[in-house]
Amino acid sequence: MNKKIFLAMIITCVVGAIDALYLLYVHYFPIVPDEALFALCTAGSMFDCNAVNTSAYAVLFGLPLSAWGIAFYIFFMALVNMYYKYRTHVIMEFIMLWLTIFAVLLSVMLGFVSFVKIKKFCTFCMLLWLCNGALLVMVGMHIKRLYNGLKNALTTIHDFDIIALIKDMQVQKILLILSIAGIISLGISYGIDASCRYAYNQKEKEREAQLIEEFKKDYEQYEKVSIKVDDIKPIIGAKENPVHVVVFFDFNCGACHRAIALLSELALKYKDAVALYVRHFPLDGTCNRFITHTKDGSSCRASQFAYALYGSSDYHDYILQLMKHKGIIDDGVIKDVIADLKKDYTKIEENAHAKEVQKLLQNDISLGGALGVQATPTIIINNTKLRPGTPPAYMLEMAIKLEMAKKK
């Protein structure tokens, strides 16, 4: 191999490896405005390294593409060095050619994904694409010079017998060495990725601990109340779980829908620690004596129908189905949900007006009034009453973690 081409290939691989290493860092630690290379990565509206490098398309088989790039350039340097010193067989030229062709095709595909799917470009990714293209050109120049023409070169390096190749001891030695080089390259790449991931996880733990500590100060200032859950069953989780989350809600409260959805996810995530309970508190003076204004009574009827199903699994299903409904919950929506549950609407409607059902609903309303509930959703985690409304998911999770820590 010509010395100039050899040096150019090595330099290109070093540049590519350094670039890929930086992109791996960006994958775990996105660039912030005060970093030196921020301007290069966010030049104009079309260039955003963070958006490209942290997208779903930036990972292949659980390993970031930048880590695969590191492995590729390390392996290619080993291949070129071995070829330059001990060129003994056309198989190495074949491997170099097809490795660079594959790298260029992958670059084209990633460029297409960036343009069509992500609609952003990564400056440093484009540098890798240029490195791949340059390596292909240099391999082409080398084999063209070596075999007196590109056509002759392509014909020659593809003219071999697979069976004879496998039996050739020299080829076996080459393939063994290259296999070892490939494993080492991939091992180095995995090691660097694991180090970055570990550093990221440690930083996240530190950040989470700091957030929890800051939140803890506010959380301890929240109103403390005494609330029992002996008389109701959780809609998610077991009564024996140490963290009891109670939410006072109104079926026609959009924020309640979001709160119950968030709390349901958290209750499922911490299924061995959290029990989620719901308490009906319609914001309608039709049935709620703590509310001065009256509405059409649909929220009251929705709660009455819920308690008409109380004691069966249909009670929970009814609530969760209605809370997934987008829009006003009126008699028509209630009827549709009852039909979905394959229940007799007429019978359920009759039960909804029974004294026992009215008593269950008024028990919830009385409890809410005694606790000073004035708006929904009002969430109580163990004995801590959060401010009315839907807190961010991370805040709810931190509150749950604080209560879990107390129980431990």
Cα distances (Å, whole numbers) of residue 160 to 89, 93, 380:
11, 12, 75
Residue for token pair 């390096």? 157
Q: How far apart are CA 254 and CA 261, in angstroms?
A: 11
CATH code for the domain of 19: 1.20.1440.130
pLDDT tops 70 at residue 233:
yes
Q: How far apart are CA 11 and CA 239, in angstroms?
A: 65
Q: Are residues 229 and 189 in the same domain?
A: no
In a domain, 339, yes or no: yes
Render pLDDT for 368-399 as a digit per residue (tens, 0 to 9).
999 999 899 999 999 999 988 888 888 899 89
Q: Are residues 244 and 384 in the same domain?
A: yes
In a domain, 128, yes or no: yes
Residue 377, preceding peptide bond in cis (omega within 30° of 0): yes
Contacts of 272 (CB under 8 A, 6+ apart): 241
Residue 229 C-beta-side C-alpha neighbours within 13 Å: 24
Sign of CA dihedral 173, 179, 180, 185: positive
Q: Are residues 134 and 260 in the same domain?
A: no
Instruction: Characterize 236-247 residue by residue with b for buried, 16 or more Cβ atoms within 10 angstroms of its Cβ, and e for exposed.
Output: bbeeebebbbbb
Report residue 189: phi and psi, to 5°. Answer: -60, -45
Q: How far apart are CA 132 and CA 107, in angstroms?
A: 8
Which pair of tokens denotes residue 328? 């006003």
Render pLDDT for 69-86 as a digit per residue (tens, 0 to 9).
999 999 999 999 988 887
Residue type, 206: E
Q: How far apart are CA 14 and CA 1, in angstroms?
A: 19
Which pair of tokens denotes residue 322? 């209605």
- Across the range 306-323, mean pLDDT stands at 90
In a domain, 213, yes or no: no
In a domain, 214, yes or no: no
- For the ranges 147-156, 160-169, 183-192, 253-262, which has the lowest average pLDDT? 160-169
User: Phi-psi bin for 62: left (phi > 0), alpha (psi -120 to 50), beta?
Assistant: left
pLDDT tops 70 at residue 114:
yes
Q: Are residues 166 and 227 in the same domain?
A: no
- Across the range 238-257, mean pLDDT stands at 94
Q: How far apart are CA 70 and CA 188, in angstroms?
A: 8
Which pair of tokens denotes residue 379? 């969430």
- Secondary structure (3-state) at 163: helix
pLDDT band at 92 (very low <50, low <70, confident <90, very high): confident
Strands annotated E in 282-395? 378-381, 384-385
Contacts of 195 (CB under 8 A, 6+ apart): none
Q: Among residues 206, 238, 253, which one ends one of the domains?
A: 206
If one compares 2 and 337, the residue with the highest pLDDT of the two is 337
pLDDT tops 80 at residue 304:
yes
Contacts of 184 (CB under 8 A, 6+ apart): 74, 78
378-381 β-sheet, strand order:
223-224, 384-385, 378-381, 243-249, 274-280
pLDDT band at 88 (very low <50, low <70, confident <90, very high): low
Q: Are residues 394 and 312 in the same domain?
A: yes
- For the ranges 189-193, 205-209, 234-238, which has the lowest average pLDDT? 205-209
In a domain, 216, yes or no: no
Q: Are residues 169 and 278 in the same domain?
A: no
Q: Are residues 191 and 306 in the same domain?
A: no
Number of domains within the chain: 2
In a domain, 212, yes or no: no
CATH code for the domain of 270: 3.40.30.10
Q: Are residues 279 and 387 in the same domain?
A: yes
In a domain, 69, yes or no: yes
Highest mean pLDDT out of 49-53, 225-229, 286-290, 394-398: 286-290
Q: How far apart are CA 75 and CA 182, in angstroms?
A: 6
CB atoms within 10 A of CB 267: 23
pLDDT tops 90 at residue 35:
no
Q: Are residues 36 and 80 in the same domain?
A: yes
Work out the percent of the chain whose per-residue pLDDT is above 70.
99
In a domain, 217, yes or no: no
If one compares 32 and 374, the residue with the highest pLDDT of the two is 374
- Across the range 244-269, mean pLDDT stands at 93
Closest CA to 74 of 186, 191, 199: 186
Q: Are residues 388 and 241 in the same domain?
A: yes
Q: Are residues 165 and 229 in the same domain?
A: no
Q: What average pLDDT is seen over the chain? A: 90
Report residue 276: phi and psi, to 5°. Answer: -105, 125
Q: Are residues 99 and 185 in the same domain?
A: yes
Residue 10, domain extent: 3-206
